[in-house]
Amino acid sequence: MTESVYKVIELIGTSKESWEKAAAAAVDRAGKTLRDLRVAEVVKLDLQLDAKGKVEAYRAKLNVSFKFED
């Protein structure tokens, strides 16, 4: 079996609708420039609020790993 090495990066996705869509947006965008994505781990969920304290956006912070190419 060949040994593998993976890099982990932190991403933050946003959505006006849900945390799930925020996480998906981050992974979708990363997939456009990174190959061989392996795991996305949600590490934090939070909300962006407007001046009146109402929800403006859902935010999901993820650790995403991808395999280094040989």
Q: CATH fold of 6-67, please?
A: Dodecin subunit-like (3.30.1660)
pLDDT of residue 69: 74
pLDDT of residue 21: 98
Q: Is residue 64 a contact partner of residue 39, using CB atoms and an 8 Å limit?
A: yes
Q: Check: pTM over 0.75? Answer yes or no.
A: yes
Domains of the chain: which residue ranges? 6-67
Give mean pLDDT in consecutive 10-residue pieces for the chain, a chain of 70 residues. Answer: 85 98 97 93 97 97 89
Q: Which residues contact 67 (CB under 8 A, 6 or more apart)?
A: 4, 5, 6, 36, 38
